[in-house]
Amino acid sequence: MNIGILDDNVAILDFVAATLAMDGHLIFRHTTGESMLNTLFAPSSSPESRVRYDLVILDLLLPGNLSGVDVFLRIRKAFDAEDLPIIVITAVNESTLEQFRRILPDDVPIVRKPFYPRQIRQLVAKMVPA
């Protein structure tokens, strides 16, 4: 699968990318929401040259103008959950997570940091098309 990962913490980005690359996934790393959205929605003269993600993994809390929730909502406006599944990773506390749960659909998996590599690998494996 082509997987886009968005996290401003380079260590976590590298950890998740290395973990998923072990299973043969092609990983595209982003440290800003703008970078991910530009990749997903970049105008291109040829649709074949545009990166097509099969899955997006994103952090909720990002510095700058776009939060992970902003990125999530923009992706959902263009792609149904079946066409582009999203996994959320976050280190927010319980009360903040509850606030995000009111915004995010119930079917969006949320993985709390820190997590074991096995957790993210199993979750991604469930989302691989059969």
Indicate the domain borders of the chain. Answer: 2-41+50-127
| Tens digit of each residue's pLDDT (9 = 90 or more) over 57-97 | 999 889 888 999 999 999 999 999 999 999 999 988 888 87
CATH of domain 2-41+50-127: 3.40.50.2300
What is the model's pLDDT at position 46? 54
Answer yes or no: is pLDDT of 130 > 60: no
- Helix locations, the chain, DSSP H: 10-21, 33-41, 68-78, 94-103, 117-127
Q: What is the mean pLDDT of residues 99-120?
A: 87
Output the pTM of the full model: 0.89
Q: How many helices (H) and strands (E) does the chain have?
A: 5, 5
